[in-house]
Amino acid sequence: MSIFGSMKTAVSGMNAQANRLGTVSDNIANANTTGYKEASTSFSSLVLPSSNGSYNSGGVETTVHYAISQQGDVSYTTSNTDLAIQGNGFFVVQGASGQTFLTRAGDFSPDDQGNLVNSAGFTLMGYPYGSGSPSVVVNGFSGLVPINVSQNGVTAIASSQGSLEGNLDSNSALPDASDSLPSDNASDGSTTANYKKTSIIAYDSQGNAITYDVYFTKTADGDPAAGTPDTWDVAVFNQADAATGDSPFPYSSGPVTSGTMNFDSDGNLISSGGDEGTITASSPLTLTNGSQTISLDMSGFTQVATDFNATGKMNGQAPNPVTDVKIDKDGTVTAQYKDGSSKSLYRVPLATVASPDNLTLESGNVYSANGQSGVTVTGFPQTGGFGYIQSGALEESNVDLASELTNMIEAQKSYTANSKVFQAGSDLLDVLVNLQR
């Protein structure tokens, strides 16, 4: 056995224990770091070939592993923007350089621009709601934007489309031939008492509410044998133009739009006619307010022998401040407004890889994918094996302090023992040197 070989083996042992002590110190230092994952050191031997009567000592090398897939305990907070993941998945965040990373650290709070940023300075990313629910890009981060929860209010949104649906009583009486219809906007007022009325609210570009009065009057009974439909006259007025007094007629301006609705013998809408001409049952009427146009879908009406009823909805929004922001388990970020309404703003995705423990650790408690971890797969919470998001909670470090203190003592004792081997080799070299005296 070579004395130098035993000394080199002792040095490799000290280096290995120093690496182990390094992971222990990191773990203890980050015992209270949100979402931190424990590091551990594994040892493997380096064996050198030996000959008969002569042993060649080898050494030891270390490999650092991270318990990324092991979830830490969850603690609850008072902030809605503190987020913890229960189950599989990572938040998708973006650094100051624009690079995208994965993390379990969900201690997010709004910055000076309203973007959700965690304590390490990484911005939470999500898919915005546009014309409908967002869809996820499963194999990349395309379409993600910073999630902004600014509570400075919202810009008024002009209405562009709405719908009315309900029922028109098939037993409604027809007006007399001398009666004027609502669509006539007669100067002496509408003389028929048979019309049905409902109203719907829309918003202009400044958020002002516009109430539209919608009148329905049956004008013809159909003949199933002859194939003729039941016909209703439809007229829409701006309520702001209504006359004062017992009757709103005459409005100061004529109908915003008018037309007809035709029903077959089963009470189904088969066509409706508007100012632009005959259109199909599913096509909307068009309401105009200056340069603003609103499509009003009337296809949900039926005509059966029961009382008149109507319900409707309209997009657009009046300006009112945001009072709260909530994040649901499925990742939906919802703004709560002062008037009691709410609106979905974003949806937070989660991402994962085939082997989370092999992700590359980056500064700031974030991770990036590599060849050993596998490619990144993105999806929404509560789908495809992903966990769910717990708002008002944080995932704690998964470090066990008792185990780390035990590991520290073991590393210290092992380092000391290796140093003794090195010292013994040094003493033997002194003996050999002194032999020549």
Label each residue of the chain as H, E or C: CCHHHHHHHHHHHHHHHHHHHHHHHHHHHCCCCCCCCCEEEEEEEECCCCECCECCCCEEEEEEEECCCCCCCEEECCCCCEEEEECCCEEEEECCCCCEEEECCCECEECCCCEEECCCCCEEEEEECCCCCCCCCCCCCCCCEECECCCCCCCCECCCEEEEEEECCCCCCCCCCCCCCHHHCCCCCCCCCCCEEEEEEEECCCCCEEEEEEEEEEEECCECCCCECEEEEEEEEEHHHCCCCCCCCCCCCCCCEEEEEEECCCCEEEEEEECCEEECCCCCEEEEECCEEEEEEEEEEECCCCCCEEEEEECCECCCCEEEEEECCCCEEEEEECCCCEEEEEECCEEECCCHHHCEEECCCEEECCCCCCCCEEECCCCCCCCEEEECEEECCCCCHHHHHHHHHHHHHHHHHHHHHHHHHHHHHHHHHHCCC
> What is the homologous superfamily of the domain 161-314 according to CATH?
Flagellar hook protein FlgE (2.60.98.20)
Order of strands across the sheet that contains 309-314: 285-289, 292-302, 161-167, 309-314
Residue 319 near residue 154 (C-beta atoms within 8 A)? yes
- The distance from CA 292 to its chain's CA centroid, rounded to whole angstroms, is 31
Residue 257 near residue 288 (C-beta atoms within 8 A)? yes
- Virtual torsion, Cα 142, 143, 149, 154, nearest 10 deg: 160
Q: CA 406 → CA 41, 211, 412, 430, distances in Å?
A: 14, 73, 10, 36
Domain ranges of the chain: 3-70+398-434, 74-154+321-395, 161-314
Residue 180 near residue 191 (C-beta atoms within 8 A)? yes
- pLDDT in 10s for each residue of the chain, 437 residues: 577 778 888 888 889 889 999 999 999 999 999 999 999 998 888 777 776 767 777 788 888 999 999 999 999 999 999 999 999 999 999 999 999 999 999 999 999 999 999 999 999 999 999 767 898 999 889 999 999 988 665 668 899 999 999 999 999 999 988 889 999 998 776 777 789 999 999 999 998 999 999 999 999 999 888 888 888 889 999 999 999 888 899 999 999 998 888 888 999 888 655 444 343 445 678 888 888 999 998 888 999 999 999 999 999 888 888 888 999 999 999 988 887 878 899 999 999 999 999 999 999 999 999 999 999 999 999 998 999 999 999 999 999 999 999 999 998 998 899 888 888 877 788 777 787 66
pTM here is 0.66
Residue 269 near residue 302 (C-beta atoms within 8 A)? yes
The backbone region for 281, taken as left when phi is positive above 0, alpha when psi lies in -120 to 50, beta otherwise, is alpha
pLDDT of residue 271: 64
Residue 295 near residue 257 (C-beta atoms within 8 A)? no
Those residues with Cβ within 8 angstroms of residue 290's Cβ, 6 or more apart along the chain or in another chain: 204
Residue with tokens 């609705």: 261
Distance CA 146, CA 133 (A): 17
Closest CA to 84 of 352, 383, 331: 331
Q: How many residues are present in the chain?
A: 437
